[in-house]
Each structure stands twice: as C-alpha cells, then as structure tokens.
Structure 1
Amino acid sequence: MKPAWLSKLENPWKQNPWFESVAVAQERARRRLPAPVYGALVAGSERGQTIEDNQAAFAEIGMAPHVVGQVSERDMATRVFGQDVSFPVLISPTGVQAVHPDGEVAVARAAAARGTVMGLSNFASKSVEEVTATGANTFFQMYWTGDRATMIQRMTRAHDAGVKGLIATLDWSFSMGRDWGSPEIPEKVDLKTMVRLAPKVAPKLRWLWQFGRTGELPDLTAPNLAPPGGQAPTFFGAYYEWMTTPPPTWDDVAWMCEQWRQISGTPFVLKGVCRVDDALRAVDSGVDGISVSNHGGNNLDGTPAAIRMVKPIADHVGHQIDVVMDGGVRRGSDVVKALALGAKAILIGRAYLWGLAANGQAGVENVLDALRGGVDSALRGLAVGSVHELSPEHLLVPDGFHHELGLPAKAHLAAQQ
C-alpha cells in the first residue's frame, strides 16, 4: 500500500472527489477546465435568453408538502422508451466530450452503474462500438446529415453495435452570434494548436496532467461519422456536412422512422419538440417518443424554457407516446417538477459534463447520485411513494407559466380524440 505522501506527490492536485450538488460539480469543472473548454459547456446562443429561462423557470414553481403522511420507502424506478431505469434521469447526447480523456466511455460506464440510459451523439469523441461495449443501454443520436444511403449506413452500424434506440435531432444549429463571443473550437488539437492556446491552457495543469497520463491529446474528430474504412471527419467537417444537407420534411421524418424500424425495430425518438402541432405531426410520422427540448439554449434564442412547454405537449400526446424533457435540470426537485407536469423522464446534459470534468466516471455517478437523492427528498416531502403518483396537484404553478405553442386547428384536435 502506497503511503499517503507518495500518492499526493504523484497527483499534487488530489482533493476530496465527492460533491453534494450539481452546482459544486460546475464550480469544480470551471476551476479545472481551460476557459475556452468551459465556455463551450456553458455557452448559449445570442443574448442567452433561453439558457437563462431554462433554469429560472424551475424557480417559479413551488411545492405543496405534507407535514404528516410521508412513506418510509419511495419508488423511483420507471420504464421509458422500452427500457427499465432505476430512476427517471437519462443521459442526453452531447458532442465531443473532450473535457476528460475517457469521454463518452466514462459517461456510459456511469450510466450502466446507476441503471439508466446513455445517449450517444453523432459527434461523440468515442465510437458507438466502444460505448456499447461498456454494457450501457445506449441510444444513438443522429442529425439529418448526408444523403439517405449514408444515413442508412450509420443506422445500420449503430444497430450492429447493439444500441437500444435512435434519437433524431433535426433542427440543430451552431450559433455564430453569441453576444459575449463564441468559445474557440480548433479544427484539431495538435502541437501547433497547443502552443497557440498555451496561455489559456497552461494555468489548468490538472486538466493537462489527465491527458498527459494517457499520452494522447484531446480528440475533436467524430468517429461515428467515418465512412466504412475511411477517416473520421473533424468537428467542422461534420458541421459542413450538416450545412450542405437540405433540411428534412415531415415525409423525411416518416422515412427515417420506417428505415430505423426495418433495421432495428427499437424505439425512435424525436428530440427538440417545442410545439403542440409538431408533437402531433411527430406522432403521425410514427415516432415512439419525443423530447421537449430547446437544445440547452443553443438553438433559437427566445424559445421558452423546456419546462414551460412540457405539460401542453404531454397533455396532447402523452397518452400515445413517451414524452421526456431536456433543459435546465440542476437538482432532484427539478426532476420531480417535470414529472409532475407530465414528463415520463428527464435528460441531463451540462450537469453530467461538469461531473465528468470534475472527476471522470465517478464524477458522473456523483451527479446522478445527487439528483437521485434530491428526487427522493422531494417525494418524501410531498408524501408520495412513487414517481408515478406525481401530478400537477403537487405543485404551485403561477398563472401564465405554461406556454402552449402551435395549437392545431380544432378539427385536427377532434380527429386526435
């Protein structure tokens, strides 16, 4: 057994790795990461109106606790998109997780260890084969990029790797107009780039030390977009492919659903739904689930917080498909609020990336544990024995809170009933 002083010498930045909240994970990530890397995690588009509302909206909702009648055990397990999960928090797909050398593999291992679903991005820094090999129940996320033959090839590869479902993101964009300036994302990380960025990276020796132990530089390529036998494109190469692909129609959504059904037969989820009419069209197109999401405030600024849109959408289609929510969740009570308003589960993005930056796989597990503890505490206070018992009656929601966007014509509504 190594003496403590020797372990400290080998890693002079070692500290108590445990943290009690997502907020602490974020602060540790801020201290550890170079400014451009941390900036890429927290940035939103334009003035940042949507990213701010994603979190602020949760604070507008109150709870209605009981003083007596709490139950001694609370059941948080649920089933979503055909998968049994230990509690209703899923990993949202996010691109290029170079905040830690193990990237998406560490996140997948954490998801498997905590009994939840791993979402893997098209733009991930680790291959779908590496991620599914962890044993995590993985959903592969695709953008509408490339021609149809290329999309079918990527679907087939994901299915062959053993994924449990497909998540389609069709309205993604990369904002070029952030009021405070966009964080720099280099084409690739090589020695020349490291020298140029040295003034920003050098102060973060702990982060450099992590990568130095592996002998590898941060990888900004997208291996899941590599053609058979070919080379993985860079992030900007993948972005160029997206920019030059004509945007999809609802007929294209139906085609994508049908192709995935023939290839895999597992659930097809559409991410980024904000409007009731789009949710109804998604059901008509054959999707198995939707994620009410504004992509973390990185798309069209001014889009309402996801929590404001989830109840109207769940009220219209939640009896037909699984409706989940993605955006602004930072604590277990946020999860409970979303569930009470009709979400089957929620997805987290920035929260687990901060945990990953703070302490790798263990940091992601720590974030999931903190959220689970918060869910349990809220259920206890509400005297609720199961997440399935939650309803709007457990909340204090101010007038005008819900944003019912894109209400369809009455004739269409009648046809759906």
Structure 2
Amino acid sequence: MNPWFETVAEAQRRARKRLPKSVYGALIAGSERGQTIEDNQTAFTELGFAPHCAGPIGERDQSTTVLGQQLSMPVMISPTGVQAVHPDGEVAVARAAAARGIAMGLSSFASKSVEEVIAANPATLFQLYWCGNRDQILERMARAKAAGAVGLILTLDWSFSHGRDWGSPQIPESLNLRTMMKFAPQTLARPRWLATYLRSGSIPDLTAPNMAVGGGAAPGFFGAYGEWMQTPAPDWDDVAWICAQWDGPVLLKGVMRVDDALRAVDAGVAGISVSNHGGNNLDGTPAAIRALPVLVDAVGSQIEVVLDGGIRRGSDVVKAVALGARAVLIGRAYLWGLAANGQAGVENVLDILRGGIDSALLGLRKTSIADLGRGDIIVPDGFERALGVPVDGERPRAAPELVGK
C-alpha cells in the first residue's frame, strides 16, 4: 500500500484498519449520544464560500503568529493524552510539527516527557490541568518552563462525565500479564500495529511522566486522572493566579460563552481557545465554530482567539480564520495520521491541510490568510450561538443576569 494518503478521511480509515478496536475507539469516542462531536463537523458543512471570479493569483501566504510563535500556516497541534497509537507518540508529532513549521501542544497526560518533546520542537506549549494542590501545579509549571515551553494552555473544558457511552472503549489501568492476555485477541488481529511496537522494543505506555511531582515516579494515566477528578474545580481567581505565576502567554482552552471570555480577559490570559473538548465533555454543547464569531466580536480586539474542534479539511481552517480565528488546533486528524504512518503520517495530514488552505485561498482570490474576512463566508441564518451574552451589553459581574443562561 502506498504510505501516502490524500485526505484526512483516508487517514482515519487506515487508522481504523491498523489499530486494535479499543485503541481506535478511544480516538473517536465522544460523550453520551455524540451530539456535540457530530455538530463540530456538521457545522462546517453549513458554511459556504463567496468566491471572486477574478483577482490576484500569486503565491499564497499562509503564515501567521499565535502567542508570539511564528506559524507557517494557521494550524497548531492540540494537546491529547496517552498517544498509544504509535510507540514514538508525542515525539513523532512534535517532529512532524517542527518539520512543517507549526507549534506543538503537549498534554499533561502525555506519554512522553516535556523535555523530550521540546527537544523535538522548541515551539511547544505545555497544557496544564488544574490538578492537585497549588504547590504541585507550580512544580509542573516550573518544570515546563525549565524545559523551554513557550506558552501554557490551561484546559478547563473537561469535567468528569458519567455518560461517556458513545463508543467509549474499555481502557486498561496497567499492562500486566493478565491485561495483555485479555486484550491479546484485539492486538493479534492488528499485526502491523503490534509489529511497530515490537520493533521499537516497547509496549504501549500508560504512564503520565509530566504529572510526576516531588521527585516521585510518574503516575499511571488512571492515577493522574483520579487526582484530577478529586481536585476541586478552579474559579476565576485560580485562573488569574496561573497567569500571574507563569512568565509568558497563557491560552485558556474551553471558552464557549461571552461572559467567560470577558472574565478570561480580566484574569490576564493572552488568548482563548473556543472549544468543547472535541465533544468529549458535556454532550449538547454547540459546535465550537458556531460560538466563534460572537466571541471574536466580544474579545478579539483584546486577546487572541483560536478554534479547536471539527477540523478535517483545509477549507475548514479557512472558514474559521475568515470568521475571526487566528489559527485552529487539530486533534483527531493528526492522531489518525500518526496511527497510519507515524511521523510521516502526521506530516501527511498537515500537508493535506496546507493544500486545502491554498486551494481555498486561490478560489477566493486571496494572496494571504490575513486578507480573509466574513464577507468571504456564507453564514446561514440561525448558525451562530450567542451564549452568555450580558443583558444590554453590560460586563458580567459576580452573579449576572444572562441571556441564554
């Protein structure tokens, strides 16, 4: 089989054929009915283009900056945890991102250390969950800073869901002999995936090295997950504290409401990611792209706004940028590429997106993504979701009366 693939959909098909059922299931699972994960993609199909029939057809410039990082195109790697789809995991993704000139987001729950990943891609932002006490959080932040992280992604769009039943697979707590015997039929049914690990001399890593504190051993994924579940949820004072402690830009991931975006500005963040955690949190939350234009209008002149959720094509990227996003973050798309062909597969996915962006710019007769605007997009009536808009445009207070609350 030709290792090159032409679409993200083909990368997904190859990932499904290559990965054990439970591993692949972890990549596509959403919470409850999967309503949000579906809307993240469907919403892009509701948006159209308004192309010009004449105009400049020179070389198209896709470059931009996000949080001070120069990007060759408006795409970034969204942090995802425990990348057991390939033995090189986050390091392969970081190398691919560096090779294509984009920034890397590294999860706290990653299977590779922050030091390894930053060595592979210096343009790495470390993703932080509010997990443990403040001293432990400070220790993780200090380690990331010492390793050279150029920014912090504070993820708040994930809460424990008791209804993760939409394709959610059974994931083992540890890979002991008993577990390996139980999952052996799945693994033996995917010999190419197994062979990749055998050649690397390793087994899928379910530890979270970036969650280690106090000189202790790295916890297992479920140990780290349990600590996060038992940590009281942060409030806006905690967000402000994070911004004050981190010497650099903080991107707050998970904003879907105007009142939250305004509070994020007050807390001192440098940017927000409009995100519903890829449909893995509260099912029934609208697609991120539906909330984007309203949030850009609310805070886009004060902080940077990016989008995370549902990106499958370069044209999706162009639609998001035209509606005000500085860039998008991708998750499942690059994981499918990683599963299909390791680092080269991730590069393949990024090349597909770059090509799609270029084609859309050409059709719109734009020579730069900086020239994109809402006039280039057809937005149907009722598409946008204006959530948490203060009554009469007032800035939200401690307990505001809100529209759409």
TM-score normalized by the length of structure 2: 0.96
- Cα deviation per residue 1:82-122 (whole Å; 9 max; x = unaligned)? 11100000000000011000000000000110000000000
4+ residue segments displaced more than 4 Å? none
Paired with 1:96 and 1:201, the residues of 2 have a C-alpha distance of 18
1:104 lines up with 2:90 in the alignment: yes
Q: In structure 1, what is the equivalent of residue 352 of structure 2? A: 370
Q: Are the aligned partners of 2:12 and 2:333 in contact in 1 as well (CA < 8 Å)?
A: yes
Identify if the C-alpha distance between structure 1 residues 180 and 413 changes in structure 2 by more than 3 Å, giving closer, same or farther. Answer: closer
| Aligned mates of 1:181, 1:294 — CA distance in 2 | 18
Identical aligned pairs, as a percentage?
Answer: 68
What residue is the counterpart of 1:209 in the other structure?
195
Paired AA for residue 372 in structure 1: R
Q: Secondary structure at the match of 1:93?
A: coil
Instruction: Quote how far apart the aligned CAs of 1:279 are.
Output: 0.2
Of 251, 259, 264, the residue aligned with 1:282 is 264
Partner AA of 2:298 in structure 1: H
1:47 and 2:29 equivalent? no
Mapped to 2, the partners of 1:175 and 1:100 lie a distance apart of: 27
Deviation at 1:411, TM superposition (A): 5.7
Q: Superposition pairs for residues 102-251 of structure 1, below 5 Å?
A: 102-251=88-237
Give 1:71's aligned residue.
57
Answer with 283-292 or 225-234: which moved more.
Answer: 225-234
* 2:389 equivalent to 1:407: yes
User: SS of 1:266's equivalent?
Assistant: coil
1:395 aligned partner = 377
The equivalent residue for 1:19 is 5
Tell me, yes or no, if structure 1 residue 348 matches structure 2 residue 348.
no
Determine if contact 1:111/1:136 at 8 Å carries over to the other structure.
no
Describe the shift of the 1:127–1:252 C-alpha distance in structure 2 as closer, same or farther (beyond 3 A): same
Shift of 1:409: 3.4
Using the TM superposition, give the Cα deviation of residue 180 of structure 1 relative to its aligned residue in structure 2, in angstroms. 4.2
Alpha-carbon contact 1:176-1:182 (below 8 Å) kept? no
Q: Deviations over 1:134-190 (max 9, x none)?
A: 133000001000000000000000000000000001241343423445201101123
Residue 299 (structure 2) pairs with residue 313 (structure 1): no
| Structure 2 unaligned regions, length at least 5 | 398-405
**Aligned-partner Cα distance in 2 for 1:166–1:20:** 33
Aligned to 2:312: 330
Deviation per CA, 1:58-88, whole angstroms, max 9, x where unpaired? 0000111122224221110001111110000
Residue of structure 2 aligned with 1:303, choices 285, 299, 309: 285
| Partner Cα distance (2:32, 2:89) in 1 | 28
Match of 1:383 among 350, 365, 373: 365
Q: Secondary structure at the match of 1:292?
A: strand
1:328 Cα shift?
0.2
Select which of 32, 39, 45 maps to 1:59: 45
Query: For 1:335-365, what per-residue CA distance to the aligned partner results, in whole angstroms no more than 9, with x for missing partners?
Result: 0000010101000000000000000000000
Q: What amino acid sits opposite 2:279 in the alignment?
A: G
2:34 and 2:166 in contact (8 A); partners too: no
Per-residue deviation, residues 286-333 of structure 1 (Å, max 9, x unmatched): 000000000000000000000000010011101111100000000000
The secondary structure found in structure 2 opposite 1:163 is coil
Deviations 1:189-221 (A, max 9, x none): 233211111122211000000000112110011
- Counterpart of 1:212, as a letter, is L
In structure 1, runs of 5+ residues without a counterpart are 1-14
Instruction: Report if aligned partners of 1:109, 1:136 keep a CA contact under 8 Å in 2.
Output: no
> d(CA) in 2 for partners of 1:55 and 1:126?
29
> Residues 342 and 192 of structure 1: is their aligned pair in 2 closer, same or farther, counting only changes over 3 Å?
same
- How many residues of Structure 1 are paired with residues of Structure 2 in the alignment? 397
Q: Give the letter for the 1:412 counterpart.
A: E
Query: Residue 122 of structure 2 contacts residue 148 of structure 2 at CA under 8 Å; is this kept in 1?
Result: no
Q: What is the DSSP-based 3-state SS (H/G/I as helix, E as strand, rest coil) of the residue aligned with 1:197?
A: helix
Q: Distance in 2 between matches of 1:159 and 1:178?
A: 34
Change over 3 Å in CA distance of 1:237–1:404 after alignment to 2? same
The answer to whether the aligner puts 1:271 opposite 2:253 as a matched pair is yes
Q: 1:315 to 1:367 in 2, by over 3 A?
A: same
Q: Which amino acid aligns with 1:250?
A: W
Q: Distance in 1 between matches of 2:81 and 2:194?
A: 20
| TM-score normalized with structure 1 length | 0.93
Mapped partners of 1:183, 1:176: distance in 2: 14
C-alpha distance after superposition, 1:233-292 (max 9, x if no partner):
1111011111111111111110111011xxxx2211100000011000000000000000
Q: Is the 8 A contact 2:157 2:277 kept in 1?
A: no
Once the two structures are overlaid, the 10-residue window that deviates more, 292-301 or 237-246, is 237-246
Task: Report the residue type matching 2:322 in the other structure.
Answer: A
Secondary structure of the residue that 1:47 maps to in structure 2?
Answer: coil
**Is this contact kept in 1: 2:256–2:387, CA < 8 A?**
yes
Whole-Å separation in 1 of the counterparts to 2:129 and 2:373: 34
Q: Shift in Å at residue 45 of structure 1?
A: 0.2
- Partners of 1:178 and 1:248 in 2: CA distance: 23
Amino acid at match of 1:382: L
Q: Distance in 2 between matches of 1:156 and 1:225?
A: 12
- Pairwise CA RMSD of aligned residues? 1.3
